[in-house]
Amino acid sequence: MISRIYVSPKKVSSRADSYLIDSKLSRHKIEQLAQALTNPILESFCIDKLSNIKDFSYAIEIGFLPGVTDNVGHTVKEIASDLLHLKKSDNFAVYTSKIFFVSGTKEHAQKIALTLYNPLIERAKIVPVKNKKIHLKAEIPKVVLKKRKPVINVDLEVSEEELIKIGKEGILDNGKEQKRRGPLALDLPSMQTIAEHFRKLKRDPTDIELESLAQTWSEHCKHTIFANPIDDIKDGLYKTYIKGATNLIRAKKQKKGRLAPSKGGDFCVSVFSDNAGGIIFDENYLIIHKVETHNSPSALDPFGGAITGIVGVNRDTIGFGLGAKPVANTYGFCFGNPNETKPLFRNKDLKNEMLLPVRIMQGVIKGINVGGNCSGIPTLSGFIKFDDRYRGKPLVFAGTVGLIPRNLPASGGIRRSYEKKARAGDYIVIVGGRVGLDGIHGATFSSVTLDSNSPAAAVQIGDPITQKKLSDAIVKEARDKNLYNSITDNGAGGISCSVAEMAKEVCLPAGRQGGAKISLEKVPLKYPGLQPWEIWISESQERMTLAVPKQKWKTFQKLMESRGVEATVIGEFTNSGKIVVEYGNKKVMDLDMEFLHDGLPKQQLFTSPQPSPKGRENPLPSGGGRGGLNGILENLLADKNISGFSFISEQYDHEVQASSVLKPLSGPGRINTDAQVFRPVLNSNKGVVLSSATYPFYGDISTYHMAACALDTAIRNIVAAGGTLSHLAILDNFCWCSSDDPRRLGQLVETVKACYDSAVAYGTPFISGKDSMFNDFKGYDEKGNPVSISIPPTLLISAIGVMPNLYKTVSPEFKKDGDIIYLLGETNDEQGVPKVNLEKNLKTYLALEKTIQKELVASSISVTSGGLAIAVAKACVGGMLGCNISTQIAPKALSVDAKLFSESQGRILVSVAPKNIKQFEKIMKGISFTKLGKVEKSGKIIITDGSLKLIDTNVKKLHKIYHSFSEKMRKHI
Amino acid sequence: MRPLDLSLKKRNMKNNKLKITNPKIIIMSGYGLNCEEETKFAFDSAGAKENIVADIVHINDLIAKPKMLSQYQILVFPGGFSYGDDTGSGKAYANKFKNHLAKELAEFLSRDTLAIGICNGFQIMTNLGILPGALAQNKNGQYIDRWVDLEIPASAQASAWLRGIKKISLPIAHGEGRYVIDPKRKPSASYGAGKKETSVIAFKYVKGKICKFQNLEENPNGSDFGIAGVLAYNGRVLGLMPHPERGMFSFQNPTWYQNKKVPKQGAGFQVFKNAINYFKK
């Protein structure tokens, strides 16, 4: 029987919640359930018919498409099961939807509906209100899959054209429609290697074998562009420059002997080998960090893409070592212009419209909000950037910091928390969510250009509560009870990748390889009818794979059950050197581990000279333009790439876990901080400091300097807040475009070289990284003309440091009338792309560190985009104070524009209480610094150059300008 | 939601007052509650001298052994996002608690015990019906994280939880924190008077140090009468949207950077200390 419960708020009558229930429950029981879903003070309920609708002409119902994750539906099912004592075998399904009431014509209702739903994941239905009532048909959005042949063999003895087609568009399905299954993202050499392998085996591969190889060999999983030889760099970019820098830095530190990190000792513990990078926090804990991107899914379904991104990277933490606890989230957004109104389409027939940047922004911001807030993880650190070139593919960075004890209790002693190995004979156990069609081909999809072939099934919606239950049960209980030998996340490629990865760790005598045997029919499904290959590679969320020793399974299972977490044995790890998959007692896959992991052919990559630099448009109108220098300053401060974004910061819970020290917004004027500090261990005075930097616009001129500036800024932000270079690690996230274009690869090589040079110079090792190499869009404009948009090459550097004493944290805003303002570092005429002087900057940073440790610095802010004038403006706005400064900066020949707006790196604007200036200047001896002037309580902001008054404004005005963009955006969210 | 049956026969309070000097504290967890660790830290710090160690107990473990509740003197529903706020904040967790533990809860409240619900915990308590009113979506429709200033009306200052506190600044972080009064139990200085148990306003949002410092609205979510927390059971049961456990140290307060030379202890500490001191008599 199908019933519908409507719950409407008593006061606001323009909306209602609907719960469509497919069950055998009596009317009385449905009523009981309706009562449980209603707060009698705020809401009332109706069953089957919604009546007493006043003043509206139409109702719009927005529900999910079949199979899309319905989190509220899950909760209602749990409420019903608990209340009505439902058994697992009882038929009970619930489908939630939202109802909005509108007045006016049907056309008007249709127009409004378009703004309310995303056709990729949702459906909209419009019904008239008649006699104050609506009647919605009881249509169940149930997934019904056609019966298909479970496994097919794929003939690879075909033409090159056909091989290319299989690689690009997928295996031809055996149904009547002769549809391709979606991208394998395997190029011709890879397809030929696979064909050759099976020729030797004298058989065709099954579809599941081919899909499995495609997952494991995908750019997303294997990072082929960073791994393959490129020009004369034989070992590839990653090994030579990223890992190369870390190895060199560690070796240098280790040479000094076993020292504490604060004394210059090596603090890396687990880098590049696990789901995230781990460094020492103190003698008891490790702190770990990982930053991911989730760009392609966020372009299609911004909310789902972003929430999946953040809860996904949380799982990288839970899957680090034997399981770390997420203690902070970070984010970074690059969007198209939020004022953009011109549509773009993925299909030539003007169907499949791209969402406008403002819609993408709304959804992504909300996704990170729900993902972090619902999981009880503070969302601390983040940034937002805009450029028209992110119109086709937005960038969504999501990061997580985790905490794990260095040692864990184990039978008869301790075990190192960051070491894990599955053993032959261990059960392969899946915990968490169930498997559906969501996220099929996510890994291969993210390795290609976004166009009309992009699979809608690649969209997933994260379920933070299912994951929170799982996370708590693992990290807070099972881990410390020593109930498993290994754990990893199910991310890209689903269990096909996680099982194969874990099988690789199986401890065996030299020369022998581990393996796994799986019975796919044991995998719990969301709905029946999935084919084996779909189960194997589905990226359905909130799942982890564990290796549980047989004798511990019962205890483990019981614990999971008591925490409301589903756990299932799907097979066991073996010593066979093979991944063997069965489905209903039939072998459907039998692949050599060696071929699976190492069979991917190496390909030599080549670069060609970079495209000639376009040159960045000088951001300053010559001669000062209207309003003179004041006008330029105000325009810059209002620029969405510089101004505040409190509309995001304040909707993210950054105080949960009671750890915040330096918050995302600081001072009476609430400016966004460039670095954030928190305390992950509540009874320790050690702090963790986070920051990030990216300069995609500099890349238009030089990607080498773009990277050097990003690294310099991320590190400078940390030092400015009170962090120390000796205990500081960095992470890289490369978001590139058209990575099959040798010119783009040329830019990549330059970038990576700069990463190496800077990291080595500052002694800050890379501990983790990620790349997303094809952020391109191919589609059509409103006239059907082809459009292709590529993002500007974007490198995000995230930095994480440990502070010995959080009480020494310095915030960026000016503090007191009369404090002396200094500019540290050299200013050059750099309004294009600045060049980083590593040697000089290092000295400046070390000196600043010293003065902060001696508590001589009242405020400290990094000089970045917009130069000195913007740094001064932010420090004033933050403190709601004025200042009177004179820009007598060496060299004297600098133009006024350069003095105010040059973006030279390595500079910090600090203020110092008069009683401390003597000691401060003594420590700064030998460092380039300028005494600029004083903080003034009058609120007037005066900048002079000799007898010339350059800037004359006041803090109230600038405060308004600084927050104006945020205020405007607040209306959109 | 059906009302909770709390009609357990009340015993004579005086006779029932056990001589307990160190209270046992139970902090609920599970299904998306997430502030249990810092709340435990707050109680443990406040009870450090007495070697008090609060217990975090998963709701399913309490359901498996419901009698366990009778060993405790302080019951805590911490903050979090139980069931992701789906179908309305606190509803599903309260339902589960009621379905399995109604009798034990009534027994607990009939003793001379204390209970507190913070943020999501407050939402759970109103859904349980042990505190009046309801918490609806913030007036601007957005989740909000900021600090607020609170005033404790004189009538509430006698509460076991609030002794010695007249004004306090704490952070809030919620999407559904707009307090809506129960029309049947109108608020006054003695909110709910005439019912079996007295309910009063515990906290009101006011314009204080924080609001002046950052130029913020006093009532962040549009709560009726600016109510941020309420008391019932003669001041023994407290529900509040702000998070005292996130104000245990002065550096957590946004004004700290203006003047770091202040005592290390934050204002939230006193709430937990009061609860422990209540049993020292």
Residue to substitute from A327, A468, A476, interface B, most B β-carbons within 10 A: A468
Cβ contact B144–A811 (<8 Å)? no
Cβ contact A667–B80 (<8 Å)? no
Among the partner-chain residues B81, B87, B243, the one whose CB lies closest to the CB of A76 is B87
Give the integer Cα–Cα distance in Å for A562 and A458. 32
Among the partner-chain residues A75, A464, A661, the one whose CB lies closest to the CB of B92 is A75
Strand partners, B116: B76, B238
CA-closest candidate to residue B202, choices B118, B79, B102, B89: B118
B83 to chain A: which residues are within 8 Å by CB?
A: 75, 78-79, 465
Model confidence pLDDT, tens digit, residues A794-852? 999 999 999 999 999 999 999 999 999 999 999 998 878 899 999 999 999 999 999 99
Q: Above 80 in pLDDT, residue B228?
A: yes
Cβ contact B58–A807 (<8 Å)? no
Across the A:B interface, residue pairs with CB atoms under 8 Å apart total: 165
- The more confident residue out of B268 and A621 is B268
B127 to chain A: which residues are within 8 Å by CB?
A: 39
Active site residue B245: yes
Indicate the range of A75-84, A457-466, B44-53 predicted with least confidence.
A457-466
What is the rounded average pLDDT of the residues A435-440? Answer: 79
Number of domains into which chain B is organized: 1
Q: What is the pLDDT of residue B18?
A: 54
Give the pairing type, strands B74-77 and B25-29: parallel
Cβ contact A666–B257 (<8 Å)? yes
In angstroms, the separation between the Cα of residue A38 and the nearest Cα of chain B is: 6
Contact A437, A501 (CB under 8 A): no
Q: Which amino acid is at A917?
A: I
Query: Phi, psi at residue A51, to the nearest 5°?
Result: -120, 180
The C-alpha angle with vertex A945 and arms to A943 and A951, in degrees rounded to 5, equals 30
Model confidence pLDDT, tens digit, residues A727-783? 999 999 999 999 889 999 999 999 999 999 999 999 999 999 999 999 999 999 999
Label residue B13 by pLDDT band (50, 70, 90). Answer: very low
Cβ contact B257–A811 (<8 Å)? yes
Q: What is the pLDDT of residue B194?
A: 42
Give the pairing type, strands A395-405 and A325-335: antiparallel
Contact A460, A367 (CB under 8 A): no
CA-closest candidate to residue A475, choices A528, A422, A408: A408
B80 to chain A: which residues are within 8 Å by CB?
A: 376
Residue A889, judged by CB atoms within 10 A of its CB (0-12, 13-18, 19+), counts as: buried
Cβ contact B38–A658 (<8 Å)? yes
Q: What is the pLDDT of residue B10?
A: 40
What is the rounded average pLDDT of the residues A849-862? Answer: 97
Q: What is the pLDDT of residue B14?
A: 43
**Binding-site residue ranges of A:** 290, 292, 315-316, 460, 489, 539-541, 732, 769, 772
B95 to chain A: which residues are within 8 Å by CB?
A: 36, 79, 82-83
Maximum C-alpha span of chain B: 54
Label residue B187 by pLDDT band (50, 70, 90). Answer: very low
Cβ contact B35–A661 (<8 Å)? no
Indicate the range of A565-569, A599-603, B27-31, B250-254 predicted with least confidence.
A599-603
Give the integer Cα–Cα distance in Å for A409 and A415. 6
**Six-digit token string for A661:** 């020290």
- Percent of chain A beyond pLDDT 70? 95
Give the integer Cα–Cα distance in Å for A26 and A23. 9
CA-closest candidate to residue A298, choices A394, A183, A429: A394
Model confidence pLDDT, tens digit, residues A582-638? 998 899 999 999 899 888 888 899 999 866 555 555 555 444 455 689 999 999 999
Strand partners, A72: none
**Six-digit token string for A790:** 């590529």
HSE toward the beta carbon, residue A587, CA cutoff 13 A? 9
Q: Above 70 in pLDDT, residue B17?
A: no
Q: What is the pLDDT of residue A538?
A: 87
For A76, name the nearest residue in chain B, comparing CA atoms only. Answer: B87
Label residue A121 by pLDDT band (50, 70, 90). Answer: confident
CATH number assigned to the domain comprising residue B254: 3.40.50.880
Among the partner-chain residues B35, B95, B251, the one whose CB lies closest to the CB of A83 is B95
For A82, name the nearest residue in chain B, comparing CA atoms only. Answer: B96
Indicate the range of A440-444, A753-757, A936-940, B192-196 predicted with least confidence.
B192-196
Q: What is the pTM of this model?
A: 0.93
The 3-class SS string of A325-380 reads EEEEEEEEEEECCCCCCCCCECCCCCCCECCCHHHHHHHHHHHHHHHHHHHCCCEE
Among the partner-chain residues A72, A563, A656, the one whose CB lies closest to the CB of B34 is A656
Indicate which residue of A223, A294, A654, A959 is catalytic: A294
Domain ranges of chain A: 2-128, 601-643+810-973
Give the integer Cα–Cα distance in Å for B250 and A554. 47
Give the pairing type, strands B178-180 and B134-136: antiparallel
Kindly provide the b/e burial profile for residues A259-272, where b requires at least 16 CB atoms within 10 angstroms of the residue's own CB.
eebeebbbbbbbbb
Q: Above 70 in pLDDT, residue A514?
A: yes
What is the rounded average pLDDT of the residues A456-462? Answer: 66
CA dihedral defined by A185, A187, A190, A196, rounded to 10 degrees? 110
Rg (CA), chain A: 29
Task: Look at domain A2-128 and name its CATH class.
Answer: alpha beta
Contact A546, A431 (CB under 8 A): yes
Any idea which residue has 């709701």 for tokens?
B59
Q: What is the pLDDT of residue A169?
A: 85
Q: What is the pLDDT of residue B193?
A: 39
- Would you say how long chain B is, in residues? 281
Cβ contact B134–A42 (<8 Å)? yes
Q: What is the pLDDT of residue A443?
A: 53
Among the partner-chain residues A41, A562, A669, the one whose CB lies closest to the CB of B60 is A562
HSE toward the beta carbon, residue A213, CA cutoff 13 A? 29
Asked if the structure places residue B245 within a domain, the reply is: yes
CATH T-level fold of A601-643+810-973: Phosphoribosyl-aminoimidazole Synthetase; Chain A, domain 2 (3.90.650)
Cβ contact B91–A39 (<8 Å)? yes
Residues 6+ apart with CB under 8 A from A207: A151, A152, A153, A154, A171, A181, A533
Contact A734, A773 (CB under 8 A): yes
Asked if the structure places residue B14 within a domain, the reply is: no
Asked if the structure places residue B15 within a domain, the reply is: no
The C-alpha angle with vertex A355 and arms to A354 and A360, in degrees rounded to 5, equals 135
Strand partners, A797: A693, A732
**CA–CA distance from B115 to each of A142, A197, A858, B83, B108 (Å)?**
44, 68, 43, 22, 9
Residues 6+ apart with CB under 8 A from A241: A752, A753, A755, A756
In terms of residue numbers, what domain contains B242? 22-277
CA-closest candidate to residue A750, choices A607, A624, A865: A607
Give the integer Cα–Cα distance in Å for A950 and A943. 5
Give the integer Cα–Cα distance in Å for A80 and A812. 51
Contact A334, A293 (CB under 8 A): no
Give the integer Cα–Cα distance in Å for B147 and A381. 18
Give the pairing type, strands A578-583 and A515-519: parallel
Q: What is the pLDDT of residue A69?
A: 82
The 3-class SS string of A513-571 reads CCEEEEEHHHCCECCCCCCHHHHHHCCCCCEEEEEECHHHHHHHHHHHHHCCCCEEEEE
Indicate the range of A64-73, A664-673, B87-96 predicted with least confidence.
A64-73
Q: What is the pLDDT of residue A969?
A: 92
The DSSP secondary-structure symbol of A450 reads B
Indicate the range of A395-399, A891-895, B11-15, B80-84 predicted with least confidence.
B11-15
Q: What is the pLDDT of residue B15?
A: 44
Among the partner-chain residues A75, A376, A661, the one whose CB lies closest to the CB of B87 is A75
Model confidence pLDDT, tens digit, residues A867-909? 999 999 999 999 999 999 998 876 678 888 999 999 999 999 9
Indicate which residue of B35, B36, B119, B174 is catalytic: B119
Neighbours of A757 (CB within 10 A): 18
A921-925: which pairs have CB atoms within 8 A and are 24 or more residues apart? A923/A847, A923/A850, A923/A851, A923/A854, A923/A856, A924/A822, A924/A824, A924/A847, A924/A851
Strand partners, A293: A397
Model confidence pLDDT, tens digit, residues B24-54? 999 999 999 999 999 999 999 999 999 999 9
The 3-class SS string of B184-236 reads CCCCCCCCCCCCCCCCEEEEEEECCHHHHHHCCCCCCCCCHHHEEEEEECCCC
Q: What is the pLDDT of residue B155?
A: 86
Residue to substitute from A8, A31, A43, A75, interface B, most B β-carbons within 10 A: A75
Indicate which residue of B36, B151, B176, B245 is catalytic: B245
Give the integer Cα–Cα distance in Å for A170 and A180. 5
Cβ contact A74–B86 (<8 Å)? yes
For B147, name the nearest residue in chain A, comparing CA atoms only. Answer: A655
- The more confident residue out of B125 and A154 is B125
Asked if the structure places residue B10 within a domain, the reply is: no
- State which of A268-277, A436-445, A486-495, B232-241 shows the largest mean pLDDT: B232-241
In angstroms, the separation between the Cα of residue A565 and the nearest Cα of chain B is: 10
Model confidence pLDDT, tens digit, residues B71-112? 999 999 999 999 999 999 999 999 999 999 999 999 999 999
Q: Above 60 in pLDDT, residue B11?
A: no
Residues 6+ apart with CB under 8 A from A55: A103
For B141, name the nearest residue in chain A, comparing CA atoms only. Answer: A973
In angstroms, the separation between the Cα of residue A960 and the nearest Cα of chain B is: 12
Q: Above 60 in pLDDT, residue A455?
A: no
Give the integer Cα–Cα distance in Å for A247 and A962. 43
Q: What is the pLDDT of residue B9?
A: 39
A809 to chain B: which residues are within 8 Å by CB?
A: 251
CA dihedral defined by A157, A162, A166, A172, rounded to 10 degrees? -90
Indicate the range of A59-68, A660-669, A727-736, B42-51 predicted with least confidence.
A59-68
Contact A676, A659 (CB under 8 A): no
Cβ contact B32–A83 (<8 Å)? no
Give the integer Cα–Cα distance in Å for A174 and A150. 10
**Binding-site residue ranges of A for Mg(2+):** 292, 316, 489
Among the partner-chain residues B99, B145, B214, the one whose CB lies closest to the CB of A668 is B214
For the question of an ipTM over 0.90, the answer is yes
Q: What is the pLDDT of residue A367?
A: 94
**Six-digit token string for A147:** 């019966």
- Percent of chain A beyond pLDDT 90? 71
